[in-house]
Amino acid sequence: MSIALERSAPAPGAVPPGAGAGRQVWRRVRRRPSALAAAAVLALLVLLALAAPLLSHLTGQDPGAYHDDLVDSARGGVPLGSFGGISADHWLGVEPGTGRDLFTRLLYGARISLLVALGAVAVQTAVGVGVGLAAALGGRFAGRLIGLATDVMIALPMLVIGIALTAVVPPDFPRPLLLILLIGLFDWGGTARMVRAQTLALRGLDFVDAARLSGNGTLRIACRELLPSLAAPVITIAAIKVPTAMVAEASLSFLGVGVKPPTPSWGQMLSSAQTWFRADPAYVLLPAGLLFVTVLAFTVLGDAVRTALDPREGSRLRVGTGKESKA
């Protein structure tokens, strides 16, 4: 969505504000089996990540414990046994070279990957909405300046700056927080542009004019009138951004600037697994597969939310095709 959109008319049939909209969206999302499946997968993942200490206690495995006896040292440290050393103790096999348990490492890795992705998206959304509102409601000059700053932020290469930044921040600074801030404070440009365009469109609508005429200030209008109307598109863009943030975490960890060892994250596991794809495919496929499934689930869910909020979908509902209008 570009700045050129700022003068476009308000989208006809945009989902009206209020709690009713949320329920309506959920109803529409619920009727898409793919979206439901995605939501179920994500719920399961979050549950597994939360239960990581419990599950690792259950299997009796510590994600950091070395098992030198489970790898073939003379062959580069490839796990002994088939499928990456799967056994009753090690449900998904062990890591080449160290013999660390892959099941528990994946669980703990999920905690980092999900925490960083969700945290970063929360930061992105907060910054993006604030900046977007300010750009739309501030003066003409302020709007231009903020627009320019947004463009600059979008153009900045996050990975390069991330590498530089991790070299200068104090070593004791918690890495997951650093990753959240890094990804969050870099990738808010899209959200800001979208919020600005939407706000400019909403600003001309009657209910905003009415609020202004009754003497409300800009801040109050932004909070009371505009924000509820912006909720739908903001939720959509946030849902779409989660997979992007996950991939960013994986990329940073892949480049060695993510969480510190021995803390596992999926990206870091992928990074150390990259050379093993022929010799021990299981080691690569597990984190890669999980990352793929999670990113796909977030994307499907995000898309479902977007479709449910799509004004065209809304108008179709109103016009009614019989089946849809009963909804």
Partner 1 sequence: MPSQSHISRRVAAAAVSLVLAGGAAACGPKDGADGAGAAGGKPGAAGAPQKGGTLTVLNSEPQNDFDPARLYTSGGGNVPSLVFRTLTTRNREEGAAGTKVVPDLATDTGRPNADATEWTYTLKDGLKYEDGSPITTADIKYGIERSFAAELSGGAPYLRDWLVGGESYEGPYKDGGKGLDSILVPDPKTIVFKLRKPEGEFPFVATQTQFAPVPKAKDTGAKYEEHPVSSGPYKVVKNENDGEHLTLERNEHWDEKTDEERKAYPDKIDVRSGLDSAVINQRLTTSAGPDSAAITTDTNLGPAELAQIGDNKELAGRVGTGHFGYVNYIAFNPKVAPFDNPKVRQAVSHAINRTSVVNAAGGSALAEPATTFLPEREAFGFTPYDHFPAGRTGDPAKAKELLKEAGFPDGLTVTLTHSTAQNRQTSPEVATAVQQALAAAGITVKLEGLENNAFNERRWDAKNTPGFFLSRWGADWPSGGPFLAPIFDGRQIVTGGSNYNHAQLDDPAVNAEIDEIAKLTDLAAAGKRWGALDKKIGEQALTVPLFHPVYKRLVGKDVKNVVISDWTGVLDISQVAVK
Question: In Å, how far are 152, 185, 226, 280 from 135, measured between CA atoms?
Answer: 15, 17, 14, 52
Can you tell me the distance from the alpha carbon of 12 to that of 9, in angstroms, rounded to the nearest whole number?
Answer: 8
Q: Which is closer to partner 1, CB of 132 or CB of 264?
A: 264
- The radius of gyration of the chain from alpha carbons, rounded to an integer in Å, stands at 24
Q: Which is closer to partner 1, CB of 68 or CB of 151?
A: 68
Task: Give me the amino acid identity at 244.
Answer: T
Can you tell me the distance from the alpha carbon of 208 to that of 107, in angstroms, rounded to the nearest whole number?
Answer: 48
Q: Which is closer to partner 1, CB of 78 or CB of 239?
A: 78
Instruction: Give the DSSP letter of residue 94.
Output: B
Task: Compute the least distance from the CB of residue 280 to partner 1, in Å.
Answer: 7
Which residues make up the interface to partner 1 (CB under 8 A)?
64-66, 68, 71-78, 96-99, 163, 167, 171, 256-257, 260-262, 272, 275-276, 278-280
Q: Which is closer to partner 1, CB of 72 or CB of 151?
A: 72
Task: Compute the least distance from the CB of residue 18 to partner 1, in Å.
Answer: 50
Residue 216 CB contacts under 8 Å (≥ 6 apart), including other chains: 224, 225
Cis, bond preceding 228 (omega within 30 deg of 0):
no
Q: Which is closer to partner 1, CB of 188 or CB of 254?
A: 254
Task: Give me the amino acid identity at 156.
Answer: L
By CB neighbour count within 10 A (0-12 exposed, 13-18 middle, 19+ buried), where does 228 fall? middle
Q: Which is closer to partner 1, CB of 236 or CB of 268?
A: 268
Task: Compute the least distance from the CB of residue 224 to partner 1, in Å.
Answer: 49
Which run of H or of E encompasses 71?
strand 71-72
Alpha-helical runs (H) found in the chain:
19-30, 33-50, 52-59, 102-137, 140-155, 158-168, 175-186, 189-203, 206-213, 218-220, 227-254, 266-273, 281-309, 311-319
Task: Compute the least distance from the CB of residue 24 to partner 1, in Å.
Answer: 50
Q: Name the phi and psi angles at 212, rounded to 5.
A: -65, -40
Task: Compute the least distance from the CB of residue 270 to partner 1, in Å.
Answer: 13
Q: Which is closer to partner 1, CB of 165 or CB of 247?
A: 165
Q: Name the phi and psi angles at 191, rounded to 5.
A: -60, -45
Q: Which is closer to partner 1, CB of 262 or CB of 311?
A: 262
